[in-house]
Each structure stands twice: as C-alpha cells, then as structure tokens.
Structure 1
Amino acid sequence: MHFFNAMLFKEPELNKTWLLTSNELNSEPAGFSDTVLALKQLVLIKQQIKTKDFSKINSDFIFSALEQLNKFQFNQALIQSVRKQVVLNNNATQFVKTLNFNTLCPKDKNNQKAKIISNVFQKFYLKEIQPYQAQLTGYLETLQPLYNELWFNENISSPQINNLVKMGSTSNLLNLLKSSAKNHVIWWQSFYKTCEISPI
C-alpha cells in the first residue's frame, strides 16, 4: 500500500491534482467521464491492494488511468475553478453586504437603483455564474467520493488535502462551494424582499 500511496503524490499526473494552476474549466470542458473512469480504476486497484487481492490487479489499468488524467488534467482545473469560485462568491458577498438597503430602495420612493442592481444580478449571476457553479457542483458530487477514497487520511496526505476531501466536512471542496454560493444568494433574497421587487 505504501508504494501505491506514494504514487498518488509522486506521479506527475496525480501530483498535479493538488497544485495551483492557471487553468480553469470552461463551460464545456472535455475529459470529465474519462477522469471519472480513471479515478475509479485507481480506487479499485487501491481496494484490491488493501484486500491483498493481487491476482486481480491489472497494471495496464494504472497506466491507462494515468494517461487519461494527464491528457485532460480535469481534476487540477476543477479544483482551481472551485477554489476561485469560492473566493469570488465570498468577495461578492462581502461587497454586497456593504450596500445599504435604505439607499437602494428608500420607502415610498423610486426603486431605480434597486432595479439596476437587480439587472446586474440577473445578467451575471443568474444567467452566467450560477449555471457554471451548478456544473462545478455536479462534477464535485461525482469526484469528491473518489478523491476521498484515494487521498483521505493516508499517511502521505497533508492536513490541508484531508480537509478538502473529507466527506461531510464543512471545509471540503464541495461544501465550501455550496456554502459560499448559498451565503451570496441569502443576501439577494433579503434584498428582493426588502426592496419589494421581483428577481425575474
């Protein structure tokens, strides 16, 4: 098991997973299904090593999995995209919290400022950012359990990686993304209720 775990951090295809990159996923990325298959192959091999079922291990699967991971580098781009979206959500939420509802939508006065703010929210958040974040969430819901199987609580895993992959943890990638988006949307719900305008 030691050598398999060492491979998770020494093979460039796997080591890149947790390194910072400038690559992010676009709205139609390639390689998701190949990445899922590759990680499932590695998880299966890890389970076979744990159960000492060595006769069933096909070393060709390791090489084909690494080849697919290297070809698309989907994991690294996904993790970078999620980290960036969490930061953007948190920064946007901090910014909108500085806005004063009394200024945006004073009682018995014109709501023009509130309508402009609402249009910005609709155009950028609802039409562009929210669908992209939903896509990232979908990818993570599939991949997070595989990341957990491969990296969580291994003696070569750092506490930071453990936090990002631990299932059910509030600090794992999936929950960080969901909670940052939820906090942002909560402000907007309060905005629409206070200003008495429709989000659509």
Structure 2
Amino acid sequence: MAACLALLGCDRSSSVEAKFENYLERLANVQEKDAMEVAISPPEYPRKRDLFQQPSRQTVGLVDALQLSKCHLMELVAQRNTVLGKVQDQFRSLEYEVALLIGLKSCLATNELNAELNQDLQRIYAVKWQELPLHITNTLYSSDVLYANAFSTNWYTEETNQGLYSLQSALQALSTLHALYLKEELPEYFDILSYQEEIEKYDQLGRISYSLQSATVYLHASTQQLKQHDSVIFCGKNRDTTKYRRLKNVFQKYYVGEIQPYLADLNSAYHTLSPHIDILYTVNLDKQYHHPVQSAYTEYKQATINHAQYWMSLFKRCGDQVGQSR
C-alpha cells in the first residue's frame, strides 16, 4: 500500500476495504493498542458441474412436430432438435421448456389430436411439467450467465452496480414462474433471455455476497477491538477524557462519515434483490450448494447491530447524547 501511495499516487480511502482497515487502525491508535488481525478467507466456489442436474431425454420427434403445426410448435421443436438447439444455455433452454409446456397444454386442450399422439403428448407434458423446477434450478445455479454473476472476490460499490436491475428482473421472472408452478399454472408468456446479456457482463450477486461477508468480518473485528480495550476509555468527572473524545471523533468522522454510507449502499443493493432472493432456496439442490448471500446478510445485520450496541453503551456510560434519541 505504501508503494501504491508513493509510486502511483493512488488514494487509499478510495478502496472500500481500506476504509474498514483505516477505521479499525484508528480505533486501535486511540486505545494505544495493537489492531485486531483481520483475515478475509477467499470464498470456495462449487464447481458448475456439481450444480447441474441432468433432465430426462424426453423429446418430441420431428414427425410428431409436423403434426403439431396447427398448434404453432413445429418451428419451436425443430429448432430445439438442431445441433445448436441441443447445446443451448440454460436461459434459452428454460424459455424453450416453458414455451413447449404452454404449447402442449394448448394443443391438448383442443381435442383435435389423434388418440395415439394425444397419449404421447400427455406423457411428454407430464414429464416436462415434473422437470420444470429442475430447469429453474439449472438456470439459477449452473447457467453460464448466473454462475458468472454469482461469485466474486470484489467489493460491491454504487459505482459498479451495472446489471443490478437486470439481475433483479431475472430473479423476479424465475420467482413468478416458480410460484405459478406451485399453483399448477403456467404464464401466458415467459421471457428471461432479454436480461441475459447484461447479467453476464457483471458479477453483482457475487459482489454483494462477498461484501456482506467481508464487512461482517471487519465489523466483528472492530467491535471486538472496542470491547476488549473498553477499560482504557475514561469518562466522567475528574477523569482524563482525552481518549474518549478522540474515540468519539473516530466514530463521527470514519464510522458515521465513511463506513455507514457504504453500508447503506450495500443494504440498498441487497434489498433491491431481496424480494426475489428466496427463489435461490426453493430449488431442488443440496443445501451445501445454496448461494451464501442470504445467510451472509443475516450475519451482517447482526454484526452491524452488535457494533452499534457497543457505541450506544459507551455513549450511555459517558452520559453523551450522540446517537441517542432525545
């Protein structure tokens, strides 16, 4: 970092992590104690192949597809049966599965099919319907698009939130589809491909998750630093309150002035997605592979509460109104 400052002239405070480090170091300096050691463990990412669930090979043949022309499914199935169609990404695959189910349901409702084809399509519809949650899971966890978006070792910042609203829209579309499935219904129309390109460019879900986890580590360390050396902070009559006044200044300038605004941005980003995040945990996937963002947020919220509680107790002990309602 010193080399960065000396040679490149870069601003240490521009780094999110540097703000947390600076805050912790300043707390320790006031206390005249060593700062707590902070270690951010690199996240362990599951392999994409471990997340993929193989659907059945149940297909609609080209001969049958020709008979489905009256239901506007011939082109859909023919495209799927091409070489390119068989290797398409999970986003496109899910759109196909939903479109096929919608078309099959419509066809079967017409009663215009011969008995043999009707029986075949009833069987195919039943299998496809049963496997729809599997395709939703694959889209969420093993698609190239969302797998790339889901994991990161970079901090979230408001300046790097491109793609956040496309991610929100995709999660909402998948949540709505799953909710309809639970009611044994299908949407009239389903679109998720329109969000694919922008989601694929960024790693917002991963950044948010990594930032929640990392902020939690720093908040825990800062709270521990304050609690462990609370006895060196004096206040009250006939006491040397120099350290208390300096510590209060660190709180105002660095926690309220720098850390809290960042945490507010991080909270906002999480809550942009949170109405639809449950879809990540309603999937047919072993819990060890569930995305960590929800548990990371729970731990982060507790860390912020614990940290705030220390400051409230200190201000109360010193008869200070800072941060207290009147």
Same fold (TM over 0.5): yes
Task: Give the Cα separation in 1 of the matches to 2:181 and 2:164.
Answer: 26
Aligned to 1:26: 157
Task: Give the Cα separation in 2 of the matches to 1:67 and 1:188.
Answer: 45
**Which range moved further: 44-53 or 4-13?**
44-53
Decide which of 223, 230, 234 is 1:93's aligned counterpart: 223
Aligned to 2:173: 41
Aligned to 1:168: none
Instruction: Point out where structure 1 has 5 or more consecutive residues left out of the alignment.
Output: 166-171
Give the count of matched residue pairs: 189
Note if contact 1:137-1:177 (Cα within 8 Å) is conserved in structure 2: no
Aligned to 2:309: 186
Supply the RMSD in Å over aligned alpha carbons. Answer: 2.5
Note if contact 1:48-1:56 (Cα within 8 Å) is conserved in structure 2: no
1:106 CA drift (Å): 5.1
Decide which of 225, 229, 234 is 1:105's aligned counterpart: 234
| Shift in CA distance, 129/106, structure 1 to aligned 2, threshold 3 Å | closer
Note if contact 2:149-2:200 (Cα within 8 Å) is conserved in structure 1: no
Aligned to 1:72: 202
Task: Give the Cα separation in 2 of the matches to 1:35 and 1:7.
Answer: 13
Superposition TM-score, scaled by structure 2 size: 0.52
- Give CA-to-partner distance per residue, 1:52-86, whole Å, 9 cap, x none: 5456243xx22222223213321111111111111
Superposition TM-score, scaled by structure 1 size: 0.80
Task: Give the Cα separation in 1 of the matches to 2:187 and 2:248.
Answer: 61
Percentage of identical aligned residues? 22
Decide which of 154, 168, 173 is 2:296's aligned counterpart: 173
Instruction: Point out where structure 2 has 5 or more consecutive residues left out of the alignment.
Output: 1-132
- Give CA-to-partner distance per residue, 1:33-56, whole Å, 9 cap, x none: 332222212323334455554562
Note if contact 1:8-1:14 (Cα within 8 Å) is conserved in structure 2: yes
Aligned to 2:285: 156
| Shift in CA distance, 86/176, structure 1 to aligned 2, threshold 3 Å | same
1:15 CA drift (Å): 2.0
Larger-Rg structure: 2
Decide which of 130, 143, 149 is 1:11's aligned counterpart: 143
**Which range moved further: 28-37 or 71-80?**
28-37
